[in-house]
Amino acid sequence: MDQSYYLKLIGRQLAGELPPAEARELQAWVEADPANRAFYDEITRLWKASEAYELPAFEADTEQAWSSLERRLGPGGAKVIGLNRWLRYAAAVLVLLIAGYGAFTALFDTAEAPVASYLATLQTAEGEQRRIPLPDGSVVVLNQHSTLRYDTVFTERSVTLEGEAFFDVARDESRPFLIHTQEAKTKVLGTAFNVRAYPEEAEIAVSVEEGKVQVAKSANASEAVVLAAGQSGVYRKPEDQLAKAELTNALAWKTQELRFDGTRLQQVAEDMERYFGVTIEIDNRQLQECRFKGTFKQPELEALLDIIAYTMDLQVEKRNGRYTLNGAAKCN
C-alpha cells in the first residue's frame, strides 16, 4: 500500500477515529522501517504544531489552499486517491503552517510530482539506542539522548548530530559524507567511526574504527586533522583546540564492553563516567597514575568499582550521587 493510505490512518488516529484493528496495522507499519517512523513522527509533529492555531480561521481559505497544493503537485496531484474532506482540511491547514517548507509533497506518491523531500528528525530517549538506515545505504546507530537530522532526498550526504552515534558510511568517491555537530565538522568518503557531540559536554570526540576521517572546526575548515583506523580526535570547546588524542572505550556504549589494558586509573574513571553517566573522583594524583587491567562485558557500576577497590586496596565512597576512590597509591 502506498504512503497516502497510511497518511489516512495517521489522520484518523490523530482525530481519535481509528479502530483497534487499523491502529495495530498502523503501528506495525511504523515499526517496520525507520523511514516509516520518521514519516509518522513528522506528521504527528506538524499536527501538534497546528493545535496552536485557531482552525476555524482557515475555513474560508481551505479550498484555495488545497488548490494551491494541487498546482504545486502538477497534473499528478489529481491522482491522490480517497482523501476525505476532513483530511483535505487537515492537509490545507498543514500546508498553510509550513508554506515554503517543501515538505508536504512527501505525503503523496505521484508519478509526475518532484522527488519528495522533508527534514527527518530522529531522537532517542534515556537508555534507548536506534539503528537508522540512510537513503545512500549508510547506517547510523544512535546512542541515548541523541538527535539526528537529515534531508530525506539525501542529494548531499549531510546529517546534523546532537549527542552520540556510530556511523557505517557507504563509500561514494563522488559525494563525501558530512556530519555537522555544534562546533565541528566530520568529512568521510566511506568508513566506520564514532562521534560524541553532546551539547552540554566540553569536548567533541571522533574515534575511527576503519578507514580515514577528516575532522575540522565548523568555523575554520582549514584547521583539520586526518584520523586513521584506531585513532581519535578531540575538539575542546573552551580552548577552541582541535587535535589528535588517545581515547579508550569510545564504542563501549555500542559493544556493551569496557576493556582496560594497563590503563591509567584516571582514564578508567573517565571511561566509566561516560559509560554509566556518573561522576567518579580519585582523591590523589599518584593514585590517578596507577594502572588497571581487565575486560568487563555488560558491566555494572558498583560491581566494577568493587573490583577496582579490591584489586588496588582502595575504598569507594558515595556521596551526593558522586563516587570517590581513595587510599594509598599501591601501584603494581
**pLDDT score, position 76:** 43
Where are the domain boundaries for CATH 3.55.50.30 in the chain?
252-326
Beta bridge partners of 287: none
Between 330 and 53, the higher pLDDT residue: 330
Q: What is the mean pLDDT of the chain?
A: 79
Number of other residues whose CB lies within 10 A of the CB of residue 120? 22
Rounded to an integer, what is the distance from CA 141 to the centroid of its chain? 8
In contact, 199 and 188? CB cutoff 8 Å: no
- Percent with pLDDT over 70 in the chain: 76
Do residues 250 and 194 lie in contact, with contact meaning Cβ atoms separated by under 8 Å? yes
Region of poorest pLDDT, from 102-111, 224-233, 274-283, 284-293: 102-111
Answer whether residue 330 shows pLDDT above 50: yes
Averaged pLDDT, 132-141: 92
Pinpoint the residues of the chain covered by CATH 2.60.120.1440.
119-245
CA distance 261 to 117: 48
Check residue 170 and report its DSSP letter.
Answer: P
185 — pLDDT class (breaks 50, 70, 90) = very high
Q: Identity (one letter) of the amino acid at 220?
A: N
pLDDT tens digits, residue range 140-162? 999 999 999 999 888 899 999 99
Highest mean pLDDT among 26-40, 80-94, 98-112, 235-249: 235-249
Residues 6+ apart with CB under 8 A from 178: 156, 157, 158, 159, 185, 186, 187
What's the confidence (pLDDT) of residue 64?
52
Q: What do you get for the CA distance between the two ends of the chain, in Å?
A: 66
Topology at the third CATH level for domain 252-326 = Phage tail protein beta-alpha-beta fold (3.55.50)
Q: Which residues contact 170 (CB under 8 A, 6 or more apart)?
A: 136, 137, 138, 190
If pLDDT is split at 50, 70 and 90, which confidence band does 332 have?
Answer: low
Residue 60 corresponds to which cell in the numbers above?
474560508
**Residue 324 has what pLDDT?**
94
Q: What is the pLDDT of residue 268?
A: 94
- 3-state secondary structure (DSSP) of residue 122: strand
Reported as a pLDDT band with limits 50, 70 and 90, residue 12 is confident
Residue corresponding to grid cell 537508522: 132
Alpha carbon dihedral 234, 237, 240, 242, in 10-degree steps, equals 10
What's the topology of domain 119-245?
Answer: Jelly Rolls (2.60.120)
Confidence of residue 212 (pLDDT cuts 50, 70, 90): very high
pTM above 0.75, yes or no: no
